[in-house]
Amino acid sequence: MKAAMKPRALLFLAILLVPGAAHAHVGDQDIVHDGAAGPYRLLVSVRPPQVIPGVAEVEVLSSDADVKVVKLVPLPLSGDGARFVPTADVATRVPGTAQSYVGRLWMMSAGSWQVRVTAEGDRGSGQLSVPVPALPLRTREMHRGLALALFAVVLFLGLGAASIAGASVREAQLPPGEAPDRKRRRRALLVTGATIAVVTAALYGGNKWWDAEAEGYSNYVYKPVQMKATGDAHGMDLELHDPGWLKSRKLDDLVPDHDHLMHLFVVRMPALDRIYHLHPEATEPARFHGAMPELPAGHYQLFGDIVHATGLPETAVATLDLPDEPGSPMGPDDAAGAAPPIATADRARREVPLASGGKVVWMKDATPFKAGRVDWLRFRVDEADGQPTHELELYMGMLGHAGILAHDASVFAHIHPTGSVPMASLAVLQGGDPHAGHHLDGAALPAEVRFPYSFPKPGTYRVFMQFKRRGKIETAAFDAQVE
């Protein structure tokens, strides 16, 4: 009986939910991480469940042929839960592949989790932990056909119960062959009516109970941190607001990612023809202020990446309308890029010339990108003489940063050569080591910058690739078609 009340309650819930809401990164839930498990190099991708408790799908690709066994276990990212490790599941080797393993893991509660991958092989065993936010993004909706069928069943059962009750009073004690008298028929009518009343009351109570349960879950469904942006020539002010979600989420617990509490991407809409990567400073908890660079007039979409002390990353989204106004110089880690309007996207373009000489080459083959598949986005920076550069420098600890936007900004991802996990989340995982993930320090830097990424859905995307050469941060924009 309660089941029949599901569709209405769930429909209501579905309306309450913000569509497309996701975690750090907007509209893109998958985690991709490239790292070392002891002597083995692994590319791990995790598709977290949309409903929690739920099953995460994990895929591990080993670059080394001597890996024999891969084990997976989910753990809370920090706290006591991270110290007591349950028995790991053995991942299944994908038939027909040499080094690809898959596994399915239950994520039992919302919050900041890690998937711990253990690789065992000829050279011993090694571990790699990948931070994974488990965010209930929606409630499941009941299928309309099922709802109608269940409603019909409830109607049948309810009326059936009433008519059985009536018949039992009217005819149960009647001698065979005799017709019920007036008195029996009246009593039967009364009992039928009373049964209908009882059934209706039970349905009503069931509905109330269902609504209460549904509301409880709707509070549990992830609600991203909200952001309000205001700005003029004097600067930009950002205010974060917690719409209420898990009690463990706070706004005064942010941890720095490469010395910055917020990495803010500012994109002009709808053309996606300007992008700014800025780092406003926290003036007090949940409030940020930054200089306003010289932005051309327009409507801007803001994506503010933050990481909590729990290792949970979030992206706060806001919009800002700006007139043509003078601005201030940008900070040393800030970057600006320009590109043609996305409406004239040129998906065939593989080379972008740089104002400071030379060019960026997107080293992609003819294979089209496919939604949900992990691809390497590989870029090479060339000097004016056509030779690969020897002069790349680390830009905020990384060889490169990329901002990826779907043509309508329904997807935003900020990724690095190690993948989609923010460095600050890795640092929390590794006990606060601020240099977590910097596996390039001190080494000679290559001219090629590569990012593992899985486009979440088909469509046109713009990839803003940012790097530092000879002390100057540069941005090159490329377009991609994803099938």
Using CB under 5 A, pick the residue from 6, 223, 401, 462 that binds Cu ion: 401
How many residues in the chain?
483
The residue sitting closest to Cu ion, measured at its beta carbon, is 401
Q: How far is residue 476's CA from residue 483's CA, in Å, rounded to a whole number?
A: 23
Binding to Cu ion by residue 274, rule CB under 5 A? no
Nearest to Cu ion of 169, 421 (CB atom): 421
Angle ∠(298,303,308) on CA atoms, nearest 5: 155
- Minimum distance from CB of 403 to Cu ion (Å)? 8
Three-state secondary-structure class, residue 33: strand
- The distance of closest approach from Cβ of residue 395 to Cu ion in the complex, given in angstroms and rounded to an integer, is 8
**CB 98 to Cu ion: min, Å:** 32
Q: Minimal distance in Å, beta carbon 422 to Cu ion?
A: 8
205 forms beta bridges with none
The number of CA neighbours under 13 Å toward the Cβ of 268 is 18
Residue 62 makes CB contacts below 8 A (sequence gap 6+) with 40, 41, 42, 43, 70, 99, 100, 101, 119
Binding-site size, Cu ion (CB under 5 A)? 1
From the list 69-77, 323-331, 343-351, 398-406, the region that binds Cu ion by CB under 5 A is 398-406
43 or 402: whose CB is closer to Cu ion?
402
Quote the CA–CA distance of 447 and 71 in Å, as a whole number: 35
Distance of closest approach, residue 57 Cβ to Cu ion, in angstroms = 26
Whichever of 268 and 401 has its CB closer to Cu ion, that residue is 401
* Helix pair 182-220, 144-171: axis angle to 10 deg: 150
Least spacing, CB of residue 401 vs Cu ion, in Å: 3
Nearer to Cu ion, 223 or 401 (CB): 401
DSSP structure class, residue 159: H
Identity of the residue, 25 or 223, whose beta carbon is nearer to Cu ion in the bound complex:
25
List phi, psi (to 5°) of 115.
-105, 120
Q: Which is nearer to Cu ion, 7 or 400 (CB)?
A: 400
Rounded CA gap, 461 and 178, in Å?
81
For residue 77, give the amino acid letter.
L
- What DSSP assignment string belongs to 293-346? --PPSEEEEEEEEEEBTTS-EEEEEEEEEE-S----PPPTT-EEEE---GGG--
The span from the CA of 435 to the CA of 384, in Å, is 33
Query: In angstroms, how far is CA 329 from the centroid of its own chain?
Result: 33
Of the listed pieces 65-73, 316-324, 397-405, 417-425, which binds Cu ion according to CB under 5 A? 397-405
* Region binding Cu ion by CB under 5 A among candidate stretches 139-147, 281-289, 339-347, 401-409: 401-409
End-to-end CA distance of the chain: 44
In whole angstroms, the minimum distance from the beta carbon of 30 to Cu ion comes to 18
Binding positions for Cu ion, 289-318, rule CB under 5 A: none
For Cu ion, which is the closer residue by CB, 57 or 334?
Answer: 334
Nearer to Cu ion, 47 or 401 (CB): 401
Rounded-to-integer distance, Cα 311 and Cα 114, Å: 10
Q: Quick check: bond before 243 cis, omega within 30?
A: no
Nearer to Cu ion, 25 or 170 (CB): 25
Tell me the closest approach of the beta carbon of residue 447 to Cu ion, in angstroms. Answer: 19
Candidate segments 29-37, 78-86, 349-357, 395-403, binder of Cu ion by CB under 5 A: 395-403
Residues near Cu ion, by CB under 5 A: 401
